[in-house]
């Protein structure tokens, strides 16, 4: 049994002053609602188990970062694009969400679906928020720096650089220009540049999520011929990126150590979501426990495309009655139950978030 513990003592004393979120549809809470793109989730049955309904979250309920915010004693980080005109508030911000569905590390990723915010653009918007809005709540640069250094930054990015770029050979020629190893190096090099940029803007407590096993998602398994539960050659691409991620973070930490960034002090964190995803998908079996996942292969929300797409009403989307018994919500995304498990392990556990969990991270001065 998982036990969730919030380190925030009350609504008035959260464990961290703010939670800032960057990434893709795993974390998007509504930014794409305001962009000209096909990658949206602001309609039912998305949000069928969320108190505010369909908000732009690509799942049936809350996301990983929603749970992390709750565990920290913070409100959910609102989508930045929905607040551009209302950022000048009397109280300091408790976080913002810059994540954008279909986007990735590379600027062209996801462009075939319309406009989205790539990682560089997301960090650019954070820079704008810091300089134009957040800084106005603090009298001195030191006060602002202290606030940012204690805030938590969470990033999940990179899977779309494969799904909506490298593997999309009809729209992109990336796989012709880069072999898998070269592409993984390209992504981590670009990622490193953006992380350093985020560091110089004040981020110190950063949580980096690995790419999940994209060879196991329904959009892949139901369209690509394979043996076993997953398409291993596609999982190998994700693994190649993940294998480059840890050394990249270590090198970045070493290069910035004279500025106060030390991996050993858990100011740079990597989460091993690949392993927890893969173990659940490949080793799960039906259970008599009504609270357990019973389907780790099929999407809860199925369209006439056999559960390989997003949950789109125009494609005949039909959601299952008990989504939280499913691992997958649609062809690409997970259910609230799985996100809750990942967030809980990362917050309190010892095997998912390394070298320290979030609870330990925020406890450090």
Q: Which are the catalytic amino acids?
A: 25, 330, 333
Distances (CA, A) of 146 to 122, 142, 202, 324: 22, 6, 9, 39
CA 347 centroid distance within chain: 15
Euclidean distance between CA atoms 325 and 298, whole angstroms: 11
CB 211 within 8 A of CB 162: yes
326, containing H or E segment: strand 326-328
CA angle 40, 31, 162 (to 5 degrees): 65
Backbone torsions φ then ψ of 119, nearest 5 degrees: -60, -40
Place of tokens 């309609």: 43
Q: At what angle do helices 119-132 and 180-200 cross, to 10 degrees?
A: 0
CA 258 centroid distance within chain: 29
Euclidean distance between CA atoms 336 and 333, whole angstroms: 10
Euclidean distance between CA atoms 193 and 296, whole angstroms: 36
Pairing of strands 152-156, 95-97: unpaired
Distances (CA, A) of 21 to 24, 151, 178, 247: 10, 11, 30, 23
CB 18 within 8 A of CB 98: no
Burial of 297 (0-12, 13-18, 19+ CB in 10 A): middle
């Amino acid at each position: 049994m998982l036990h969730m513990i919030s380190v925030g003592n009350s609504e008035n004393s959260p464990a961290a002053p703010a939670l800032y979120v960057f990434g893709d549809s795993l974390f998007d809470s509504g930014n794409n609602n305001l962009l000209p793109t096909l990658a949206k989730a602001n309609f039912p049955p998305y949000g069928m188990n969320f108190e505010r309904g369909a908000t732009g979250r690509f799942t049936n309920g809350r996301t990983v970062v929603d749970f992390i915010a709750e565990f920290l004693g913070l409100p959910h980080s609102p989508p930045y694009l929905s607040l551009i005109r209302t950022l000048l508030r009397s109280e300091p911000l408790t976080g913002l969400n810059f994540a954008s569905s279909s986007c990735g590390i590379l600027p062209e990723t996801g462009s075939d679906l319309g406009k989205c915010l790539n990682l560089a653009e997301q960090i650019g918007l954070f820079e704008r928020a810091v300089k134009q809005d957040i800084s106005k709540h603090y009298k001195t640069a030191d006060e602002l720096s202290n606030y940012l250094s204690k805030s938590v930054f969470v990033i999940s990015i990179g899977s779309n650089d494969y799904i909506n770029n490298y593997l999309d050979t009809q729209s992109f020629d990336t796989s012709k220009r880069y072999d898998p190893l070269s592409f993984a190096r390209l992504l981590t090099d670009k990622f490193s540049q953006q992380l350093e940029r985020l560091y110089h803007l004040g981020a110190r407590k950063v949580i980096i999520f690995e790419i999940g096993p994209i060879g196991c998602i329904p959009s892949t398994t139901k369209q690509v011929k394979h043996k076993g539960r997953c398409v291993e050659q596609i999982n190998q691409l994700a693994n190649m990126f993940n294998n480059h991620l840890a050394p990249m973070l270590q090198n970045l930490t070493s290069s910035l150590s004279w500025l106060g960034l030390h991996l050993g002090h858990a100011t740079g964190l990597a989460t091993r979501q690949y392993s927890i995803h893969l173990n659940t998908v490949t080793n799960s079996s039906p259970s008599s426990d009504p609270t357990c996942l019973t389907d780790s292969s099929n999407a809860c929300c199925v369209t006439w495309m056999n559960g390989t797409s997003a949950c789109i009403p125009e494609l005949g989307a039909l959601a299952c009655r008990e989504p939280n018994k499913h691992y997958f919500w649609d062809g690409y995304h997970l259910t609230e139950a799985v996100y809750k498990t990942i967030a809980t392990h990362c917050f309190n556990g010892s095997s998912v978030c390394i070298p320290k969990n979030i609870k330990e991270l925020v406890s450090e001065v």
